Amino acid sequence: MDDHLLQAEKSYAPHIALFAVQVFFGTATVLGKFALLAFPPYALVGFRVGGAALAFYVLQRFRGSLALDNRRDYLRFAFLAFFGVALNQLLFFKGLSLTTAVNTSLIAVTIPIFTILISVLIGSDSFSWRKVAGIILAAFGVIYLIDPTKASFGSQTTQGDILIVLNSLCYAIYVAISKKLISHYGALKSIAWLFLYASLINVPMGIFALQEVNLSEVSLNSWLFVAGLVIFPTILAYFWNAWALSRVEPSVVAVYIYLQPLIGFLAAIFFLGEHFSVRLLISAILVFAGVFLVTRKRRNRLQ
């Protein structure tokens, strides 16, 4: 009985972590909205990546060595850092500034699709029609929630839309190919190297962007919003995401992304006084059904 409970705990723990990750990522929009009032986008990226790199470096050095077993793994982590953190963050913030929030949310639907295609091609995930059906079902839930009629795909947003597509592809590449390396080295050491490499790109760009900011005039609240961005949607979210990725297939990690819009709408109901709608209920049913289809087979195998 104890062994059965232990197996159940191990099988459900990554899913609990992934749900928490979406909650943390969901806070990035709110925190970022207020932080952008005081800082330019690239400065915020520099704060997020630099702050996380410092935190993960200290934690890993406290725990043990940063050394890797294979010299080629240093290059592999550099590759992952470029796609999963550095380029991913830059494309997202730049793309968001050139397109609409609705367009961005709709394009993000492609992340799990890109992920499962890449994962199957390189052999890090298994193909099944159940996963495909689950991803499509959850995608329809998100699309229905956001309402594509509100999107404005046109010449004015084309450049931003392309950047968000590339952002989605970059994150999908990271999720699809990082599982083996993260599983070998563990979440903390892996994520430390990812952010240390990414900081070589993002921190100098952030420092350059800060030249247009008078830091003496930045309010305490603005600094608190920046701190929130570093702690919640960066340190905690990336660490738990990596931890879960080492325990479940990439397609499972990717499909949880579809929960972010639902969490955002629920937060608006509880904290901003918005009303619950039938559209939200239908979307929630579709998204959770899709997540269930993608995760069910893997959980049964672990149990």
pLDDT in tens, 49-88: 999 999 999 999 999 899 999 999 999 999 999 999 999 9
For residue 97, pLDDT over 90 is answered with: no
Predicted pLDDT at 7: 52
- pLDDT confidence of residue 104: 79
Q: What is the mean pLDDT of the chain?
A: 86
Task: Please give the pLDDT value at position 273.
Answer: 65
On the question of pLDDT at 236 being above 50, the answer is yes
Task: Give 301's pLDDT tier (boundaries 50, 70, 90).
Answer: very low
26-51 b/e with 16+ CB inside 10 Å = b?
A: bbbbbbbeebbebbbbbbbbbbbbbb
Mean pLDDT, rounded, for 253-272 = 77
CA dist., res. 6 & res. 303, Å (int)? 10
pLDDT the model gives residue 36: 83
Predicted confidence band at 1 (pLDDT cuts at 50, 70, 90)? Answer: very low
Q: What's the pLDDT score for residue 230?
A: 94
pLDDT for the residue 148: 76
- The whole-number average pLDDT for the span 252-271 is 79
Residue 93 to residues 97, 152, 235, 251: CA-CA distances in angstroms?
6, 18, 18, 25
Tens digits of residue pLDDT in 190-223: 999 999 999 999 999 999 999 989 999 999 999 9
Does residue 172 contact residue 114 with C-beta atoms inside 8 Å?
yes
Residue owning tokens 């330019």: 40
Task: Report the C-alpha gap between 46 and 208 in whole angstroms.
Answer: 10
* 230 or 102: which leads in pLDDT: 230
Q: Where are the alpha helices (DSSP H) in the chain?
A: 2-35, 41-63, 71-81, 87-98, 101-107, 110-122, 129-146, 158-177, 179-185, 187-209, 220-230, 237-245, 250-255, 259-272, 278-302
Domain layout of the chain by residue ranges: 14-302
Q: What pLDDT shows up at residue 268?
A: 64
Structure confidence by residue, pLDDT tens digits, 141-166: 888 887 777 777 777 888 988 998 99
Helix (H) or strand (E) holding 248: none
Report for 15-19, 122-126, 262-266, 268-272: range of highest mean pLDDT: 15-19
Amino acid at 228: G
pTM reported for the whole predicted model = 0.84
